[in-house]
């Protein structure tokens, strides 16, 4: 009986962790925007405003499922865009919002490009100040097996 209770508790804990990780994209989607004049650009730009739930993730290691969107060619990737959606549906093709992509910077070994979904982990940084970078940046990226 104790073993059954232990196993049930372990299953519940594991499933809640997996659900939490699966909902990372949903959490990242909870961003709002404010318009702010940019002197360098000469016009107003949308600046992300991160809610408390997103702010709690900053500086923490997260695991996230998605697709590699290559920045330079289709070979091994040292840095790339990571998307909640496949290449033909990603933000840059006009079918999703900027909250569905993040910049990924690999920790050690380059990641081989694939059109199939993969899971990566890394340390999340939030960017609301540099309009030349995406608002979500994942550093020290590694593939999760």
Return the structure tokens found at 27. Answer: 């959490």
Domains of the chain: 2-30+56-143 (2.40.50)
| pTM across the whole model | 0.79
Residue-wise pLDDT tens digits, 25-40: 999 999 999 998 888 7
Q: Which residues contact 136 (CB under 8 A, 6 or more apart)?
A: 28, 99, 101, 102, 103, 124, 125, 126, 127
Q: Which pLDDT value is given to residue 41?
A: 75
Q: Which pLDDT value is given to residue 56?
A: 96
Taking 70 as the pLDDT cut, the residues of the chain under it are 1-22, 87-89, 91-95
């Amino acid at each position: 009986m104790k073993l059954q209770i232990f196993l049930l508790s372990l299953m519940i804990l594991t499933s809640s962790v997996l659900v939490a990780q699966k909902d990372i994209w949903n959490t990242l989607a909870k961003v709002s925007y404010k318009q702010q004049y940019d002197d360098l650009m000469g016009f107003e730009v949308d600046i992300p405003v991160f809610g408390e739930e997103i702010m709690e993730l900053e500086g923490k290691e997260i695991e996230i499922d998605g697709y590699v969107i290559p920045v330079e060619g289709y070979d091994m990737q040292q840095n790339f865009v990571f998307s909640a959606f496949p290449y033909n549906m990603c933000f840059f093709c006009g079918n999703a919002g900027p909250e569905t992509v993040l910049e990924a910077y690999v920790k050690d070994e380059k990641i081989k490009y694939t059109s199939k979904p993969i899971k990566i982990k890394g340390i999340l940084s939030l960017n609301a100040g540099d309009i030349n970078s995406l608002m979500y940046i994942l550093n020290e990226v590694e593939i999760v097996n």
